[in-house]
Chain A
Protein backbone atom coordinates (compact mmCIF):
# COMPACT_ATOMS: atom_id res chain seq x y z
CA UNK A 1 0.00 0.00 0.00
CA UNK A 2 2.70 2.48 0.98
CA UNK A 3 4.63 1.76 -2.22
CA UNK A 4 1.61 2.86 -4.28
CA UNK A 5 1.31 6.09 -2.31
CA UNK A 6 5.00 6.72 -2.81
CA UNK A 7 4.72 6.07 -6.54
CA UNK A 8 1.87 8.55 -6.87
CA UNK A 9 3.71 11.16 -4.80
CA UNK A 10 6.81 10.80 -6.95
CA UNK A 11 4.70 11.23 -10.08
CA UNK A 12 3.02 14.35 -8.67
CA UNK A 13 6.39 15.76 -7.63
CA UNK A 14 7.71 15.26 -11.14
CA UNK A 15 4.55 16.91 -12.50
CA UNK A 16 4.99 19.96 -10.32
CA UNK A 17 8.71 20.42 -10.97
CA UNK A 18 9.61 22.75 -13.79
CA UNK A 19 13.32 22.11 -13.86
CA UNK A 20 14.03 19.06 -15.94
CA UNK A 21 17.77 19.40 -16.36
CA UNK A 22 19.66 17.68 -13.57
CA UNK A 23 22.94 19.24 -12.48
CA UNK A 24 24.65 15.92 -12.18
CA UNK A 25 26.47 14.89 -9.97
CA UNK A 26 25.43 17.52 -7.42
CA UNK A 27 21.80 16.61 -8.06
CA UNK A 28 20.63 13.04 -8.32
CA UNK A 29 17.31 11.60 -9.36
CA UNK A 30 15.97 9.19 -6.80
CA UNK A 31 15.17 5.71 -7.98
CA UNK A 32 13.20 2.93 -6.40
CA UNK A 33 15.32 0.52 -4.34
CA UNK A 34 13.92 -2.19 -6.63
CA UNK A 35 15.41 -0.66 -9.79
CA UNK A 36 17.62 -2.93 -11.85
CA UNK A 37 20.95 -1.16 -11.86
CA UNK A 38 24.66 -1.93 -11.80
CA UNK A 39 25.27 -5.66 -11.36
CA UNK A 40 27.82 -6.83 -8.80
CA UNK A 41 29.32 -10.25 -8.18
CA UNK A 42 30.03 -11.76 -4.78
CA UNK A 43 33.28 -13.61 -5.35
CA UNK A 44 32.97 -15.71 -2.22
CA UNK A 45 29.82 -17.36 -3.61
CA UNK A 46 30.64 -17.39 -7.32
CA UNK A 47 31.32 -20.90 -8.69
CA UNK A 48 32.43 -19.76 -12.16
CA UNK A 49 29.72 -21.82 -13.85
CA UNK A 50 29.47 -19.34 -16.79
CA UNK A 51 25.68 -19.59 -16.95
CA UNK A 52 25.48 -15.80 -16.92
CA UNK A 53 27.75 -15.63 -19.93
CA UNK A 54 25.61 -18.18 -21.75
CA UNK A 55 22.31 -16.47 -21.02
CA UNK A 56 23.36 -12.87 -21.71
CA UNK A 57 21.37 -11.68 -24.76
CA UNK A 58 23.73 -8.77 -25.45
CA UNK A 59 26.89 -10.88 -25.08
CA UNK A 60 28.15 -8.38 -22.54
CA UNK A 61 29.58 -10.84 -20.02
CA UNK A 62 33.06 -12.28 -20.54
CA UNK A 63 34.99 -14.38 -18.05
CA UNK A 64 38.54 -13.51 -17.17
CA UNK A 65 41.23 -15.16 -15.07
CA UNK A 66 41.98 -13.54 -11.75
CA UNK A 67 44.96 -13.70 -9.41
CA UNK A 68 43.42 -16.44 -7.28
CA UNK A 69 43.28 -18.81 -10.24
CA UNK A 70 39.52 -18.69 -10.68
CA UNK A 71 37.56 -17.14 -13.51
CA UNK A 72 35.07 -14.39 -12.78
CA UNK A 73 32.51 -12.59 -14.96
CA UNK A 74 33.22 -9.08 -16.18
CA UNK A 75 30.59 -6.91 -17.81
CA UNK A 76 31.15 -4.77 -20.87
CA UNK A 77 28.99 -1.84 -19.86
CA UNK A 78 28.83 -0.58 -23.40
CA UNK A 79 26.81 -3.66 -24.28
CA UNK A 80 24.87 -4.40 -21.08
CA UNK A 81 21.17 -3.59 -21.30
CA UNK A 82 20.49 -4.25 -17.59
CA UNK A 83 17.93 -6.92 -18.46
CA UNK A 84 18.75 -8.99 -15.40
CA UNK A 85 18.82 -12.37 -17.15
CA UNK A 86 22.21 -13.15 -15.63
CA UNK A 87 20.86 -12.39 -12.15
CA UNK A 88 17.97 -14.76 -12.78
CA UNK A 89 20.24 -17.43 -14.19
CA UNK A 90 22.82 -17.32 -11.39
CA UNK A 91 22.46 -20.61 -9.47
CA UNK A 92 24.14 -19.43 -6.28
CA UNK A 93 22.79 -15.89 -6.13
CA UNK A 94 26.20 -14.32 -6.29
CA UNK A 95 25.16 -11.86 -9.00
CA UNK A 96 22.77 -9.15 -7.85
CA UNK A 97 21.48 -5.77 -8.90
CA UNK A 98 22.31 -2.60 -7.02
CA UNK A 99 20.03 0.45 -7.16
CA UNK A 100 22.83 2.37 -8.88
CA UNK A 101 21.85 3.14 -12.48
CA UNK A 102 24.15 6.07 -13.18
CA UNK A 103 26.97 4.06 -14.59
CA UNK A 104 29.72 6.44 -15.63
CA UNK A 105 33.48 6.43 -15.68
CA UNK A 106 36.07 9.18 -15.58
CA UNK A 107 38.59 7.40 -17.75
CA UNK A 108 38.13 5.35 -20.89
CA UNK A 109 40.45 2.59 -19.74
CA UNK A 110 38.27 1.54 -16.84
CA UNK A 111 35.24 1.67 -19.12
CA UNK A 112 36.82 -0.37 -21.86
CA UNK A 113 38.18 -3.06 -19.60
CA UNK A 114 35.67 -3.40 -16.79
CA UNK A 115 36.99 -6.58 -15.26
CA UNK A 116 35.61 -5.99 -11.81
CA UNK A 117 32.14 -6.60 -10.52
CA UNK A 118 33.26 -7.36 -6.99
CA UNK A 119 31.67 -4.85 -4.59
CA UNK A 120 34.71 -4.94 -2.31
CA UNK A 121 37.31 -4.59 -4.98
CA UNK A 122 35.46 -2.12 -7.16
CA UNK A 123 37.08 1.27 -7.45
CA UNK A 124 35.26 2.57 -10.46
CA UNK A 125 34.66 6.26 -10.14
CA UNK A 126 31.30 7.87 -10.82
CA UNK A 127 31.26 11.61 -10.84
CA UNK A 128 33.74 12.04 -8.06
CA UNK A 129 32.24 9.56 -5.66
CA UNK A 130 32.53 5.84 -5.51
CA UNK A 131 30.03 4.02 -7.61
CA UNK A 132 28.86 1.75 -4.87
Chain B
Protein backbone atom coordinates (compact mmCIF):
# COMPACT_ATOMS: atom_id res chain seq x y z
CA UNK B 1 0.00 0.00 0.00
CA UNK B 2 2.99 2.24 0.45
CA UNK B 3 6.04 2.70 -1.74
CA UNK B 4 8.39 1.69 1.06
CA UNK B 5 6.39 -1.24 2.26
CA UNK B 6 9.17 -3.65 1.42
CA UNK B 7 11.55 -1.85 3.69
CA UNK B 8 9.09 -0.94 6.42
CA UNK B 9 11.25 -2.84 8.91
CA UNK B 10 14.12 -0.52 7.99
CA UNK B 11 11.86 2.43 8.72
CA UNK B 12 11.02 0.79 12.01
CA UNK B 13 14.71 0.35 12.83
CA UNK B 14 15.54 3.94 11.93
CA UNK B 15 12.52 5.97 12.92
CA UNK B 16 9.68 4.92 15.14
CA UNK B 17 10.28 2.14 17.54
CA UNK B 18 13.94 2.35 16.57
CA UNK B 19 16.83 4.72 17.04
CA UNK B 20 15.19 8.11 16.44
CA UNK B 21 12.22 7.20 18.57
CA UNK B 22 14.41 6.16 21.48
CA UNK B 23 16.61 9.25 21.37
CA UNK B 24 13.62 11.54 20.84
CA UNK B 25 11.79 9.94 23.74
CA UNK B 26 14.84 10.57 25.92
CA UNK B 27 14.70 14.31 25.22
CA UNK B 28 10.92 14.62 25.49
CA UNK B 29 10.62 12.46 28.60
CA UNK B 30 13.33 14.27 30.55
CA UNK B 31 11.85 17.65 29.66
CA UNK B 32 8.30 16.51 30.38
CA UNK B 33 9.27 15.00 33.71
CA UNK B 34 10.98 18.16 34.92
CA UNK B 35 8.16 20.35 33.67
CA UNK B 36 5.25 18.27 34.97
CA UNK B 37 6.82 17.70 38.37
CA UNK B 38 7.54 21.41 38.63
CA UNK B 39 3.92 22.26 37.85
CA UNK B 40 2.63 19.85 40.46
CA UNK B 41 4.96 21.35 43.03
CA UNK B 42 3.92 24.90 42.01
CA UNK B 43 7.19 25.82 40.38
CA UNK B 44 7.99 26.77 36.80
CA UNK B 45 10.60 24.18 35.91
CA UNK B 46 13.43 24.77 33.42
CA UNK B 47 13.05 28.11 31.65
CA UNK B 48 16.63 29.32 31.22
CA UNK B 49 17.04 27.94 27.70
CA UNK B 50 14.32 28.77 25.13
CA UNK B 51 11.78 30.43 27.37
CA UNK B 52 9.31 30.88 24.51
CA UNK B 53 8.69 27.12 24.14
CA UNK B 54 8.71 26.31 27.82
CA UNK B 55 12.37 25.39 28.10
CA UNK B 56 12.04 22.47 25.72
CA UNK B 57 15.67 22.79 24.61
CA UNK B 58 16.94 22.37 28.16
CA UNK B 59 17.73 18.62 27.84
CA UNK B 60 19.65 19.35 24.63
CA UNK B 61 21.57 22.12 26.35
CA UNK B 62 22.33 19.67 29.16
CA UNK B 63 23.48 17.15 26.58
CA UNK B 64 25.86 19.64 24.96
CA UNK B 65 27.15 20.67 28.36
CA UNK B 66 27.75 17.07 29.39
CA UNK B 67 29.46 16.17 26.10
CA UNK B 68 31.97 18.98 26.57
CA UNK B 69 32.75 18.22 30.19
CA UNK B 70 35.83 16.21 31.01
CA UNK B 71 35.59 12.44 30.79
CA UNK B 72 37.25 11.17 33.94
CA UNK B 73 38.37 7.56 33.96
CA UNK B 74 39.16 6.54 37.54
CA UNK B 75 42.49 4.84 37.95
CA UNK B 76 41.34 1.90 40.04
CA UNK B 77 38.86 0.55 37.50
CA UNK B 78 39.25 -1.70 34.50
CA UNK B 79 39.07 1.02 31.85
CA UNK B 80 37.74 -1.11 29.02
CA UNK B 81 34.89 -2.38 31.16
CA UNK B 82 34.29 1.04 32.64
CA UNK B 83 33.86 2.52 29.15
CA UNK B 84 31.91 -0.30 27.56
CA UNK B 85 29.37 -1.31 30.21
CA UNK B 86 27.22 1.86 29.93
CA UNK B 87 27.08 1.33 26.16
CA UNK B 88 26.10 -2.30 26.64
CA UNK B 89 23.51 -1.31 29.25
CA UNK B 90 21.90 1.28 26.98
CA UNK B 91 21.72 -1.14 24.06
CA UNK B 92 20.44 -3.96 26.26
CA UNK B 93 17.68 -1.70 27.52
CA UNK B 94 16.78 -0.78 23.96
CA UNK B 95 16.76 -4.40 22.73
CA UNK B 96 13.19 -5.38 23.76
CA UNK B 97 11.89 -2.65 21.44
CA UNK B 98 13.08 -4.67 18.44
CA UNK B 99 10.61 -7.49 19.05
CA UNK B 100 7.45 -5.43 19.54
CA UNK B 101 5.31 -4.18 16.67
CA UNK B 102 4.35 -0.51 16.86
CA UNK B 103 2.05 -0.57 13.82
CA UNK B 104 1.22 -2.97 10.96
CA UNK B 105 4.58 -3.75 9.36
CA UNK B 106 6.44 -1.49 11.74
CA UNK B 107 8.52 -4.07 13.56
CA UNK B 108 12.27 -4.43 13.57
CA UNK B 109 12.59 -8.18 13.98
CA UNK B 110 9.52 -10.37 13.58
CA UNK B 111 9.33 -13.53 15.60
CA UNK B 112 6.15 -15.53 16.35
CA UNK B 113 7.11 -15.49 20.05
CA UNK B 114 8.34 -11.90 19.96
CA UNK B 115 6.64 -10.55 23.08
CA UNK B 116 8.01 -13.34 25.27
CA UNK B 117 11.51 -12.66 23.93
CA UNK B 118 11.06 -8.97 24.65
CA UNK B 119 10.14 -9.66 28.27
CA UNK B 120 13.05 -12.05 28.77
CA UNK B 121 15.45 -9.43 27.40
CA UNK B 122 13.84 -6.85 29.66
CA UNK B 123 14.48 -9.02 32.72
CA UNK B 124 18.11 -9.59 31.70
CA UNK B 125 18.94 -5.88 31.83
CA UNK B 126 19.45 -5.98 35.60
CA UNK B 127 22.49 -8.19 34.98
CA UNK B 128 24.15 -5.46 32.90
CA UNK B 129 23.36 -2.86 35.53
CA UNK B 130 24.97 -4.97 38.24
CA UNK B 131 27.96 -5.63 36.00
CA UNK B 132 28.33 -1.90 35.44
CA UNK B 133 28.17 -1.18 39.15
CA UNK B 134 30.73 -3.93 39.79
CA UNK B 135 33.18 -2.60 37.22
CA UNK B 136 32.97 0.87 38.78
CA UNK B 137 34.21 -0.60 42.07
CA UNK B 138 32.93 1.99 44.49
CA UNK B 139 31.17 1.68 47.82
CA UNK B 140 28.09 3.53 46.62
CA UNK B 141 27.83 1.52 43.42
CA UNK B 142 28.22 -1.67 45.45
CA UNK B 143 25.26 -0.75 47.62
CA UNK B 144 23.33 0.37 44.54
CA UNK B 145 24.01 -2.94 42.81
CA UNK B 146 22.84 -4.89 45.86
CA UNK B 147 19.65 -2.86 45.98
CA UNK B 148 19.11 -3.38 42.26
CA UNK B 149 19.44 -7.17 42.66
CA UNK B 150 16.99 -7.19 45.54
CA UNK B 151 14.50 -4.95 43.78
CA UNK B 152 14.64 -7.09 40.66
CA UNK B 153 13.95 -10.09 42.89
CA UNK B 154 10.82 -8.27 44.02
CA UNK B 155 9.42 -7.37 40.59
CA UNK B 156 10.53 -10.14 38.24
CA UNK B 157 8.02 -12.80 39.23
CA UNK B 158 4.95 -10.51 39.26
CA UNK B 159 6.05 -9.17 35.88
CA UNK B 160 6.43 -12.67 34.45
CA UNK B 161 3.13 -13.79 35.93
CA UNK B 162 1.23 -10.79 34.58
CA UNK B 163 2.72 -11.59 31.17
CA UNK B 164 1.69 -15.24 31.58
CA UNK B 165 -1.83 -14.04 32.32
CA UNK B 166 -2.02 -12.05 29.09
CA UNK B 167 -0.36 -14.77 26.98
CA UNK B 168 -2.76 -17.35 28.36
CA UNK B 169 -5.63 -15.05 27.55
CA UNK B 170 -4.52 -14.45 23.96
CA UNK B 171 -3.01 -17.91 23.48
CA UNK B 172 -0.12 -16.43 21.52
CA UNK B 173 2.90 -14.16 21.81
CA UNK B 174 2.88 -13.06 18.19
CA UNK B 175 3.21 -9.24 18.18
CA UNK B 176 0.57 -8.90 15.41
CA UNK B 177 -1.91 -11.55 16.58
CA UNK B 178 -1.97 -10.12 20.10
CA UNK B 179 -3.24 -6.80 18.79
CA UNK B 180 -5.66 -8.33 16.31
CA UNK B 181 -7.26 -10.39 19.10
CA UNK B 182 -8.01 -7.34 21.23
CA UNK B 183 -11.53 -6.43 20.17
CA UNK B 184 -11.85 -5.42 23.80
CA UNK B 185 -8.65 -3.91 25.19
CA UNK B 186 -6.58 -6.16 27.40
CA UNK B 187 -6.82 -3.71 30.29
CA UNK B 188 -10.60 -4.21 30.35
CA UNK B 189 -10.33 -7.97 29.92
CA UNK B 190 -7.92 -8.47 32.77
CA UNK B 191 -7.44 -5.34 34.90
CA UNK B 192 -5.60 -7.32 37.58
CA UNK B 193 -2.85 -8.23 35.14
CA UNK B 194 -2.59 -4.61 34.03
CA UNK B 195 -2.23 -3.41 37.60
CA UNK B 196 0.45 -6.00 38.37
CA UNK B 197 2.27 -5.18 35.12
CA UNK B 198 2.12 -1.46 35.77
CA UNK B 199 3.46 -1.66 39.30
CA UNK B 200 6.21 -4.01 38.09
CA UNK B 201 6.98 -1.46 35.38
CA UNK B 202 7.33 1.25 38.03
CA UNK B 203 9.68 -1.01 40.00
CA UNK B 204 11.76 -2.07 37.03
CA UNK B 205 12.28 1.49 35.78
CA UNK B 206 12.97 2.55 39.41
CA UNK B 207 10.44 5.36 39.32
CA UNK B 208 9.67 7.08 42.52
CA UNK B 209 8.15 5.00 45.27
CA UNK B 210 10.71 2.36 44.31
CA UNK B 211 13.58 4.67 43.40
CA UNK B 212 15.75 2.70 45.80
CA UNK B 213 18.94 1.77 43.89
CA UNK B 214 19.75 5.38 42.96
CA UNK B 215 18.33 7.08 46.05
CA UNK B 216 20.16 10.38 46.01
CA UNK B 217 20.09 11.21 49.71
CA UNK B 218 21.34 7.76 50.66
CA UNK B 219 23.72 6.43 47.98
CA UNK B 220 24.91 9.27 45.80
CA UNK B 221 23.55 7.97 42.50
CA UNK B 222 23.68 4.27 43.22
CA UNK B 223 25.05 2.28 40.28
CA UNK B 224 25.78 5.47 38.29
CA UNK B 225 27.96 7.20 40.87
CA UNK B 226 31.35 7.12 39.17
CA UNK B 227 30.18 8.24 35.76
CA UNK B 228 30.42 11.76 34.43
CA UNK B 229 30.21 13.46 31.06
CA UNK B 230 28.82 11.37 28.19
CA UNK B 231 28.99 8.10 30.09
CA UNK B 232 26.57 9.59 32.60
CA UNK B 233 24.10 10.26 29.78
CA UNK B 234 24.37 6.67 28.59
CA UNK B 235 24.07 5.05 31.99
CA UNK B 236 21.40 7.29 33.47
CA UNK B 237 19.43 7.70 30.24
CA UNK B 238 19.12 3.93 30.17
CA UNK B 239 16.26 3.94 32.67
CA UNK B 240 14.26 6.16 30.32
CA UNK B 241 14.92 3.75 27.48
CA UNK B 242 13.57 0.98 29.69
CA UNK B 243 10.52 3.12 30.32
CA UNK B 244 10.10 3.51 26.56
CA UNK B 245 10.29 -0.23 25.99
CA UNK B 246 7.91 -0.89 28.86
CA UNK B 247 5.38 1.65 27.60
CA UNK B 248 5.54 0.12 24.12
CA UNK B 249 5.02 -3.39 25.49
CA UNK B 250 2.20 -2.20 27.74
CA UNK B 251 0.39 -0.38 24.96
CA UNK B 252 0.61 -3.46 22.72
CA UNK B 253 -0.44 -5.95 25.40
CA UNK B 254 -3.04 -3.96 27.29
CA UNK B 255 -4.19 -0.92 25.33
CA UNK B 256 -4.91 -2.56 21.99
CA UNK B 257 -1.76 -1.40 20.20
CA UNK B 258 -2.65 0.52 17.03
CA UNK B 259 -6.18 -0.85 17.26
CA UNK B 260 -8.56 1.72 15.73
CA UNK B 261 -6.09 2.50 12.92
CA UNK B 262 -5.30 0.11 10.08
CA UNK B 263 -2.44 1.56 8.05
CA UNK B 264 1.14 2.08 9.13
CA UNK B 265 1.33 5.84 9.62
CA UNK B 266 -1.87 6.40 11.57
CA UNK B 267 -1.17 3.19 13.50
CA UNK B 268 2.17 4.57 14.60
CA UNK B 269 0.51 7.80 15.72
CA UNK B 270 -2.09 5.90 17.74
CA UNK B 271 0.65 3.82 19.37
CA UNK B 272 2.58 6.98 20.25
CA UNK B 273 -0.52 8.46 21.87
CA UNK B 274 -1.08 5.30 23.90
CA UNK B 275 2.56 5.14 24.95
CA UNK B 276 2.34 8.75 26.10
CA UNK B 277 -0.77 7.91 28.11
CA UNK B 278 1.07 5.00 29.75
CA UNK B 279 4.24 6.96 30.45
CA UNK B 280 2.54 10.08 31.81
CA UNK B 281 1.65 8.72 35.30
CA UNK B 282 5.16 7.28 35.57
CA UNK B 283 6.67 10.68 34.88
CA UNK B 284 4.64 12.50 37.52
CA UNK B 285 5.24 9.83 40.19
CA UNK B 286 8.30 11.75 41.35
CA UNK B 287 6.06 14.53 42.66
CA UNK B 288 3.56 12.23 44.33
CA UNK B 289 5.30 9.59 46.40
CA UNK B 290 8.08 9.39 48.95
CA UNK B 291 10.58 6.57 48.74
CA UNK B 292 10.12 3.11 50.22
CA UNK B 293 12.87 1.42 52.16
CA UNK B 294 14.28 -1.64 50.43
CA UNK B 295 12.69 -4.04 52.89
CA UNK B 296 9.29 -2.38 52.46
CA UNK B 297 9.60 -2.70 48.68
CA UNK B 298 10.59 -6.36 48.99
CA UNK B 299 7.73 -7.14 51.34
CA UNK B 300 5.27 -5.36 49.02
CA UNK B 301 6.59 -7.23 45.99
CA UNK B 302 6.49 -10.62 47.63
CA UNK B 303 3.11 -10.30 49.29
CA UNK B 304 0.57 -7.97 47.69
CA UNK B 305 2.03 -7.72 44.21
CA UNK B 306 2.64 -11.47 43.93
CA UNK B 307 -0.88 -12.23 45.15
CA UNK B 308 -2.26 -9.76 42.62
CA UNK B 309 -0.37 -11.36 39.74
CA UNK B 310 -1.38 -14.89 40.75
CA UNK B 311 -4.99 -13.70 40.90
CA UNK B 312 -4.49 -12.25 37.40
CA UNK B 313 -3.33 -15.62 36.03
CA UNK B 314 -6.27 -17.45 37.61
CA UNK B 315 -8.64 -14.79 36.33
CA UNK B 316 -7.43 -15.15 32.78
CA UNK B 317 -7.64 -18.97 32.93
CA UNK B 318 -11.24 -18.50 34.04
CA UNK B 319 -11.87 -16.02 31.21
CA UNK B 320 -10.34 -18.48 28.78
CA UNK B 321 -12.71 -21.25 29.90
CA UNK B 322 -15.65 -18.86 29.81
CA UNK B 323 -14.75 -18.34 26.16
CA UNK B 324 -14.27 -14.59 26.20
CA UNK B 325 -11.48 -14.74 23.60
Contacts and interface: CB of A to CB of B under 8 A. Distances in A.
Interface in B260-296: 281, 284, 287-289
A15 interface: yes
A15 B288 contact: no
17 contacts: A7-B288, A7-B289, A8-B281, A8-B288, A11-B40, A11-B284, A11-B287, A11-B288, A14-B39, A14-B40, A14-B41, A14-B42, A15-B36, A15-B39, A15-B40, A15-B284, A20-B42
Nearest to A20: B42
Q: Main secondary structure on chain A at its contact with chain B?
A: helix
Interface of B: 36, 39-42, 281, 284, 287-289
A41 B177 CA distance: 65
Contacts of A11: 40, 284, 287-288
Interface string A1-26: 00000011001001100001000000
Interface in A1-57: 7-8, 11, 14-15, 20
Most buried by B among A11, A14, A15, A20: A11
A118 B34 CA distance: 42
B42 to A, nearest CB: 5
A88 to B, nearest CB: 16
Contacts of A20: 42
Contacts of A14: 39-42
Nearest to A13: B40
Contacts of B287: 11
